[in-house]
DNA sequence: CCCTGTCATACCCGGTAGGTATCACTGAGG
DNA sequence: CCTCAGTGATACCTACCGGGTATGACAGGG
């Protein structure tokens, strides 16, 4: 009736993303004709046209766009259910489910805070085991949504907290990281405008989901790469204060006066009901 | 592999809620044996035991509890995707998708605010059509989650805003609604303690999802019933200020000094990307 | 000790998901 | 203008599996 099987959703997502039945079928590991048929059935069942086929190109209708977004959320929720259930498996000794929590953190994030949090929590009675899962740039949200992680350290305004519950842990300013020898490195403070268009030092561009924002700067996907490029005098970067921890001798940090403060949150799926998670959050807010 | 079909989720939810294969099968409109088999397959696929069968009774394992919660969220997301897609159907004329928004409101909620909101929004250029969906006590959250509604007026602290984005619209105090002739009705103000244990006037109990909280007061599921019982001198109720709008001559409203303020929010699913919704929210915050 | 309730097993059938072959149509290029 | 490459739809077949019925196995209560 109005069921929407997971398989159908998967199929539609593939087609909607590829906008090409052949490639979508290949990605799904199946032949093209059954895929075409499945999508037709889906459209008939929903009573809605999802794709515009022009015999030569495929595009989304309005309803298709809606299903692309809502379906992504639904699929994520489903795989999250599977993952979390599987993870909870075996943990069934009465009196104390040996819960394990997966904590997603951006690799470059404040190491000090994380260390304090883990230490404090480990000291708690009946603390669950914490698995620290390093995540790429802005990937924590996705990880929480699809169940790879149970809880995450996020950094507003870079991460969006939409759809999660969260508690504020720490606020810090931002600094510009410059090559030590650069003229600007002599300043006591700088503004964003000062560092955003230095002719010889374009701002580095970070990979987000495999693609890079446009711009003149070098393409980066690794903090060490960035550190090296700065040391070589090829680029400049803007980071939260806590990045001072990993600066090299060839780097100079200069506070930025007008950069928005970075707020570190601990965030988790709003519907979570795990005792272990509650304990970790309590510990975190007490730091 | 780790797919978790919607059908399997539906089946498991039924069994997990009934804790009885026979009744669950009946509720699903199928025979018991295929249901047993489906659950076994599910457990085998997940590699996790979900139910403890004692040949005489069924209970959830830890993993089963997890799947019960996570699965509910996943199923809601899936049916939401179906509903919203279907609702977006046909709306495909280029240049302006004739979006229609479904707004869930608690029936007893501030009528004045709702009226102002609807009027203001209707005056906007290219306003979408708003369908007002009355919802039972604390049902708005569920409606947002499963796609029956796109946006809702919620009242903290009664509704939980967890998992939604929201904007604050209005804050009001609370009042006790008493029979006009009652001695307490002569007071200028009251405290919660004053009204919570009046021997002859027990607090009314509202239905939530068909069940009533325990207590001595009468069982209510309708504001008119409540008004009548108060008028008859049988009960007393606590409401936000805006309830004054529907008071009878036989009622007296007395402000409560220590009741938590009621904050009306406009709330919507965090991942929403609808233009029409954005417009409505903009209008609401400008009121 | 039997009887009832309850979940699991055995077996069968029909629908349907998926594969292969092919058609229908479109747009580019010579 | 015709041809050919590319792409989605159609036709048809098969095998799997979801669902049904009948029955077994076992626990508890009278």
Side by side, which strands form the sheet with A237-240?
Answer: A237-240, A174-179, A251-255
Q: Taking all atoms of strand D, which protein residues have CB closer than 7 Å?
A: A 20-22, 32-33, 36-37, 39-40, 53, 55-58; B 7, 29-31, 33-34, 37-38, 41, 54-56
Q: Which two tokens stand for residue A213?
A: 């924002």
- What's the CA gap between A30 and A11, in Å, rounded? 10
CB contact under 8 A, B50 and A81: no
Nearby residues of A102 by Cβ (< 8 Å), 6 or more positions away: A87, A130, A131, A133, A148, A149, A150, A151
Nearest nucleotide over every DNA/RNA strand to the B38 CA, judged by C1': D18
First to last CA, chain A: 51
Secondary element (H or E) of residue A84? helix A62-88
Asked if B273 lies within 8 A of A147 by C-beta distance, the reply is no
**Is-contact A195 A176, C-beta < 8 A?**
yes
Residue B55 CB lies within 7 Å of the nucleic strand C: yes
Return the SS3 of A286.
helix
The answer to which of A20-29, A116-125, A218-227, A259-268 has the lowest mean pLDDT is A218-227
Give the CA-to-C1' distance from B32 to C10 in angstroms.
Answer: 15
Among B62, B76, B269, the residue with its CB nearest the CB of A92 is B62
- What whole-number distance in Å separates Cα of residue A78 and Cα of residue B13? 13
Helix, strand, coil shares, percent, chain B, to 5: 40, 25, 35
- Which of A9, A47, A74 has the CB atom closest to B89's CB atom? A47
Nucleotide C27, nearest residue via CA and C1': A56
Q: Which residues in chain A touch residue B76, judged by CB atoms under 8 angstroms apart?
A: 77
For residues B4 and B48, the answer to whether their CB atoms sit within 8 Å is no
Q: What's the pLDDT score for residue A43? A: 93
pLDDT grade, residue A15 (50/70/90)?
Answer: very high
Q: pLDDT tens, position by position, for chain B (287 residues)? A: 578 999 999 999 999 999 999 999 999 999 999 999 999 999 999 999 999 888 778 899 989 999 999 999 999 999 999 999 999 876 454 434 467 899 999 876 778 899 999 999 999 988 999 999 988 777 899 999 999 999 999 998 989 998 899 999 999 999 999 999 888 999 999 999 888 877 777 787 877 777 777 777 777 777 888 888 889 888 888 999 998 988 999 999 999 999 999 999 999 999 998 999 999 999 999 98
Q: What is the DSSP string of A70-82?
A: HHHHHHHHHHHHH
Provide DSSP, B59-102: EE-HHHHHHHHHHHHHHHHHHHHHHHHHHHTT---TT----EEE
| Dihedral (CA of A19, A22, A27, A28) sign | positive
Among A12, A66, A91, A165, which would you mutate to test the B interface (most chain B Cβ atoms within 10 Å of its Cβ)?
A66
Task: Name the β-bridge partners of B266.
Answer: B153, B167
Residue A18 to residue A22: CA distance in whole angstroms: 9
Count the residues in chain B. Answer: 287
For chain C, which bases have at least one atom within 7 A of a protein Cβ? Answer: 5-11, 17-22, 25-27
Number of H helices, E strands in chain B: 9, 12
| pTM score, whole prediction | 0.88
Å: A40 CA to C25 C1': 19
CA distance B42 to A132: 29
The distance (Å) linking the CA of A154 with the C1' of D25 is 54
- C-alpha span between B30 and B43 (Å, rounded): 20
Across the interface, of B82, B97, B164, the residue whose CB is closest to A62 is: B97
Q: What is the least distance, in Å, from the CA of B139 to any CA of chain A?
A: 16
Distance CA B116, CA A246 (A): 55
pLDDT tens digits along A67-76: 999 999 999 9
Q: Is residue A197 over pLDDT 80? A: no
Q: Which residue has the higher pLDDT, B137 or A118?
A: A118
Residue of B4, B49, B85 with shortest CB distance to A82 = B4
Instruction: Please spell the DSSP secondary structure of B218-274, one letter per residue.
Output: PEE--HHHHHHHHHTTS-BEEEEGGGGGG--TTEEEEEBSSSPPEEEEEEEETT---
In this structure, what is the dihedral angle of CA atoms B172, B178, B183, B189, given to the nearest 10 degrees? 0
- A77-86, A108-117, A232-241: lowest mean pLDDT where? A108-117
How many contacts does A have with B, using Cβ atoms within 8 A?
A: 167
44-103 on A, CB < 7 Å from strand C: 54-56
The sign of the CA dihedral A132, A135, A140, A144 is negative
Which 3-state string (H, E, C) describes B90-122?
A: CCCCCCCCCCEEEEEEECCCCHHHHHHHHHHHH
| B50, B64 Cβ separation under 8 angstroms | yes
- Say how far A47 CA is from C14 C1', in Å: 26
| DSSP structure class, residue A184 | G
Residues A149 and B202: their CA atoms lie apart, in Å, by: 47
User: Token pair for residue B102?
Assistant: 């479904």
- Indicate yes or no: CB of B78 within 8 angstroms of CB of A74: yes
A232 exposure class (CB count in 10 Å sphere: 0-12, 13-18, 19+): exposed
Q: Residue B246 is encoded by which pair of tokens? A: 């529907």
What is the rounded distance in angstroms from the CA atom of residue B190 to the CA atom of residue B256?
A: 5
Q: What phi and psi values does residue A106 have, to the nearest 5 degrees? A: -70, 135
């Amino acid at each position: 009736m109005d069921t929407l099987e997971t398989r159908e959703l998967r199929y539609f997502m593939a087609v909607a993303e590829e906008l090409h039945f052949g490639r979508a079928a290949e990605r799904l590991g199946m032949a093209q004709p059954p895929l075409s048929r499945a999508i037709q059935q889906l459209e008939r069942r929903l009573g809605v046209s999802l794709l515009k086929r022009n015999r030569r190109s495929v595009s989304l209708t309005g309803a298709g766009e809606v299903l692309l977004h809502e379906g992504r959320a639904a699929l994520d929720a489903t795989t999250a259910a599977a993952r979390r259930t599987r993870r909870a498996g075996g943990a069934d000794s009465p009196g104390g489910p040996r819960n394990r929590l997966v904590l997603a953190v951006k690799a470059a994030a404040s190491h000090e805070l994380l260390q304090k949090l883990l230490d404090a929590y480990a000291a708690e009675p009946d603390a669950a085991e914490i698995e620290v899962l390093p995540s790429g740039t802005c990937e924590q949200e996705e990880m929480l949504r699809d169940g790879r992680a149970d809880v995450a350290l996020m950094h507003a305004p870079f991460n969006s907290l939409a759809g999660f519950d969260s508690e504020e842990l720490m606020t810090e300013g931002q600094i510009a990281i410059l090559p030590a020898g650069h003229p600007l490195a002599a300043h006591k403070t700088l503004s964003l405008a000062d560092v955003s268009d230095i002719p010889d030092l374009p701002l580095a561009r970070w990979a987000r989901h495999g693609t890079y924002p446009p711009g003149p700067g070098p393409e980066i996907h690794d903090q060490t790469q960035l550190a090296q490029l700065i040391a070589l005098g090829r680029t400049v970067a803007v980071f939260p204060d806590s990045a001072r921890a990993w600066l090299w001798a060839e780097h100079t940090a200069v506070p930025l006066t007008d950069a928005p403060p970075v707020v570190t949150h601990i965030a988790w799926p709003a519907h979570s009901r795990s005792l272990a998670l509650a304990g970790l959050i309590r510990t975190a807010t007490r730091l």
